[in-house]
Chain A
């Protein structure tokens, strides 16, 4: 199993550009998450999904959009990139949210710089 994969690993965007960060998991997990991590800060939840077709906002959703058309894929879309979106983005998945089944497994991250 590859686990959770993310592409690209690095990206530099200009202000106002758009891009999609890709995330895929092959563990048949129901739950998927997008976090951002700024230097010296904890992970902050952007969006999450409890299954195909169902998404919901996390703590910091502004400036982002998501979709979940399949169990495996959970792309994150940035529209009109801003310097404040410079961060490391992590995708994660978990089987469920019950005790013992909600351990989150993280992808390797995408390092995004907006100039």
Chain B
């Protein structure tokens, strides 16, 4: 929603790498969050970018390009427990959430 575009679903095997792209409107932009949401559960905070570049946090990294209105979340060494929806949430005043990318990790 709100012109936040991310793929609906991605499938990858255990141990692989997956990159979830997110594009958003740049006007009034003031930072971007990524949240993880397992089925039937609440979203939990993964990462936050306010400046251009890569933020690394263990197996998860998030990248931001403010001029391009583009971010990605990189999941490395995929584990079965990473099967979840990943929500891109740019902040323009308040947080606005994308519809989420469902990542399915297969054995």
Contacts and interface: CB of A to CB of B under 8 A. Distances in A.
A106 B46 CA distance: 13
Nearest to B100: A42
Interface of A: 35, 40-45, 48, 58, 90, 99, 102-109
Q: Give the bracket for the number of chain B residues in contact with chain A.
A: 20 to 34
Contact of B45 (A99, A105, A107): A105
Main secondary structure of the interface of A (DSSP, over half): loop
Contacts, number: 44
B42 A103 contact: no
B42 A108 contact: yes
Main secondary structure of the interface of B (DSSP, over half): loop
B94 interface: yes
Interface of B: 1-2, 4, 31, 33, 41-45, 48, 50, 87, 91, 94-100
Nearest to A106: B42
Nearest to B98: A42
A40 B101 CA distance: 9
A43 B87 contact: yes
A37 to B, nearest CB: 8
Contacts of A103: 33, 45, 48
B42 A42 contact: no
Given A35-B97, A42-B98, A45-B95, 6 more contacts: A41-B99, A42-B96, A43-B43, A45-B96, A102-B31, A109-B42
Nearest to B30: A99
B99 A45 contact: no
Given A90-B42, A90-B43, A42 B99 contact: yes
